[in-house]
Structures are given as C-alpha cells and as structure tokens.
C-alpha cells in the first residue's frame, strides 16, 4: 500500500481489518466481533475490542484509516 509516498506493508490481520471496514464508517465493537469471527480471538490476553482498537489506532497513525468519534462523523 502506498501512503504519502511511503510503501506500507500490512499484516494479514490489518489487511482483513481493512476489508471489513470497507468504504463507510463503522464502529470498533462491530469490527472486533467480525474480526474475531474471521480469525479467532486474540491470543495475547486482550479483549477483541481492545486488540481491534489498538490495530485501528496503529493504522490511523500510519494514515491508512481515519478515526473519529461518532458525533464527529459525517452524517453520523
């Protein structure tokens, strides 16, 4: 993936997460449930919601996704 002139190699988990996000806005809890159903629960002791939120924050820091609170979303 090319982001701001940088090549970013995504893990299979991050790639799956992006596929689940699609084009619209979605909440982390829904993503966590879908991701856990697809690949199983986290193996490091974190909840699915915490692990998904951490991954979303990492992707946001790299400019791959945009994160907003529900009240700040367009039409939401």
Per-residue model confidence as pLDDT tens digits over 2-44:
788 888 889 999 999 999 987 878 889 999 999 999 999 999 9
In-domain check, residue 76:
no
Tell me, what's the pLDDT at 73?
55
Q: Is residue 74 part of a domain?
A: no
Q: Is residue 54 in some structural domain?
A: yes
Position 59 in a domain: yes
pLDDT, tens only, 56-70: 999 999 999 998 876
Q: Which residues contact 20 (CB under 8 A, 6 or more apart)?
A: 26, 31, 34, 35, 38
Measured distance CA(13)–CA(29) in Å, rounded: 16
The answer to whether the beta carbons of residues 64 and 49 sit under 8 Å apart is no
Is the pLDDT at 52 greater than 90? The verdict is yes
Asked if residue 49 is part of any domain, the answer here is yes
């Amino acid at each position: 993936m090319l982001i701001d002139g940088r090549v970013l190699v995504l893990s299979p988990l991050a790639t799956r997460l992006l596929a689940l996000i699609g084009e619209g806005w979605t909440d982390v809890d829904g993503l966590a449930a879908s991701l856990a159903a697809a690949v199983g629960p986290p193996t490091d002791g974190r909840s699915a919601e915490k692990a998904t939120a951490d991954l979303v924050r990492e992707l946001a820091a790299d400019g791959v996704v945009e994160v907003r609170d529900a009240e700040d979303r367009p039409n939401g």
